[in-house]
Amino acid sequence: MKIKLDIVKYRFLCLGISAIFLLPGIISMIYSSVVYPTHTPLKVGIDYTGGTTLQYGVKEDVTNDKLSAVRQDLVKNGIENPYLQIINVNSKQSTDLKAILSVRTKFIDEGSKDVDKITGIVNQVFQAPSLVQVSSVGPTLGSELFKNSMIALSLALVGIIAYLTFRFQFDYALAAILGLVHDTIFVMGVFSLLGLFYDVQIDALFVTALLTVIGFSVHDTIVVFDRVRENLKYYSKKMSFGEIMNASINQTLARSINTSLTTLITLLALYFFGGVTTKDFVLAMILGIAVGTYSSIFFCSTLVEIWEDKKKNAKSAAAA
């Protein structure tokens, strides 16, 4: 079986498909920025906003099964994204409590129905837990921290552009960067939509997932560009740039698919068999790697091809 892709012929179709991928997410992000009280394009979780911590003293060991049971019941009863943590009771403290179960979730008022609901759930799993403390907690990922990370990321992008311009050409570098922007916007867009329709909130891990997507996206694009660079060396006299681009993409196609496949296998295993608390994190990476493969084949290459085509036309127009 031989698959032959002709991205040069269908270049505007490729860009069109990208637009279809991205548009709903972009619309959702704009809508969310206006509508959400936080004015953020995505629904942000308590890592960014802060929330309330309820601490229950329990007189028995907190096993993983019990932790899972509490988590499941909480989610079932509409307490989204709870963070459950065990606080061990210091032996120096004089108390008959074995441990403290800390439940961190969105802001809730003391004495409200939500508190009763959570207490009820903890009560079903543990014997006679006592609510020892309700307190509000601040964000772990403050806006300052977030801003710093974004500045670091922007400078990293400048670094990528500089290196790729040095090793390839500026338009390849620009295409690679646009490719990673494409992939990042897609993942953010999907999570914005998930936030609107399924109340999915992003946590501090989401930033890490995006970093992973960016890393993969650039890596994947460079491999395709490297083949173009090599083929240009051998065939630039015999073939047009479009033909070389097509040949390069088809030569690297098996590799592109296999690489994503191996990474996706690991991530899918983590998604289906792994812990609940990292599900969204893994989902973001799965989406990013899938779209990253798509963009390096169909989006970045198309951009370079169109630019090179324009340059050639401009040149021949100048010659004539």
Partner 1 sequence: MKNKLILFWVIIALTIGAITAIAVKPTKLGLDLVGGSRLVLEANPTNAQVTPDMMSSLQFAIENRVNKLGVSETVVQRSGDKRLVVEIPDVSDLEQAKKFIGETAELDFRRPVIKNGVENWEPTGLTGKDLSKANLSTNSQNGQWVVDLEFNGAGTKKFADLTKQMVGQQMAIFFNGELQSAPVIREPITGGRAQISGGDSGFAYAEAKEMVDLLNAGALPVPAKIVEENTVGPTLGADSIAKSKIAGAIGLGFVMLFMALYYRAPGLIADMALLIYGVLLFALFKLIPVTLTLAGIAGFILSIGMAVDANILIFERTKEELKAGRTLFTAINSGFDRAFTSIFDSNMTTIITCIILYCLGTSIVKGFALTLAIGVMVSMFSAITITKNFMHLIFGTGNLKHPEWFGIKKSEIGEGFQAVETSREKAKFGILD
Three-class secondary structure of residue 5 per DSSP: coil
- Tell me which residues in 181-210 interact with partner 1 (CB under 8 A): 204-205, 207-209
The rounded distance, in Å, linking the Cα atoms of 84 and 62 is 11
- Give Cβ neighbours of residue 311 (< 8 Å, ≥ 6 apart): none
Q: CB 135 → partner 1: shortest distance, Å?
A: 4
Among 38, 112, 148, 236, binds partner 1 (CB under 8 A): 148
Q: Closest distance between partner 1 and the C-beta of residue 201, in Å?
A: 15
In this structure, are residues 59 and 98 in contact, taking their beta carbons and an 8 Å threshold?
Answer: yes
Q: Which amino acid is at 101?
A: L
Between 149 and 240, whose beta carbon lies closer to partner 1? Answer: 149
Nearer Cβ to partner 1 (95/313)? 95
Degrees (nearest 5) of the Cα angle 308, 214, 50?
Answer: 145
Query: Burial level of 87, CB count in 10 A (0-12/13-18/19+)?
Result: middle
Range in contact with partner 1 (rule: CB under 8 A) among 7-15, 188-196, 247-255, 303-311: 247-255
CB of 78 to partner 1, least distance (A): 19
Question: How far is the C-alpha of 141 from the C-alpha of 211, rounded, in Å?
Answer: 16
Q: What mask, x for binding partner 1 by CB under 8 A, covers residues 260 to 299?
A: -xxx-xxxxxx-xxxxxxx--x---x--------------
Closest to partner 1 by CB, 14 or 176: 176
- State the CB neighbour count (10 A cutoff) for residue 275: 12
Shortest distance, position 312 Cβ to partner 1, whole Å: 24
What is the dihedral sign for C-alpha 300, 271, 277, 197? positive
- Which residues from 57-116 bind partner 1, rule CB under 8 A? 62, 64-65, 67-68, 71, 83-90, 100, 102
Near partner 1 by CB under 8 A, which window of 24-32, 255-263, 300-308, 312-320? 255-263
Nearest-CA neighbor of 86 among 96, 77, 97? 97
Query: Stretches 73-81, 155-163, 187-195, 308-316: which one binds partner 1 (CB under 8 A)?
Result: 155-163
For residue 94, give the amino acid letter: S
CB nearer to partner 1: give 212 or 302.
Answer: 212
In the complex, least distance from residue 272 CB atom to partner 1, rounded to whole angstroms: 7
Spatial distance between the Cα atoms of 158 and 164, rounded to a whole number of angstroms: 10
Q: Does 167 participate in binding partner 1 (rule CB under 8 A)?
A: yes
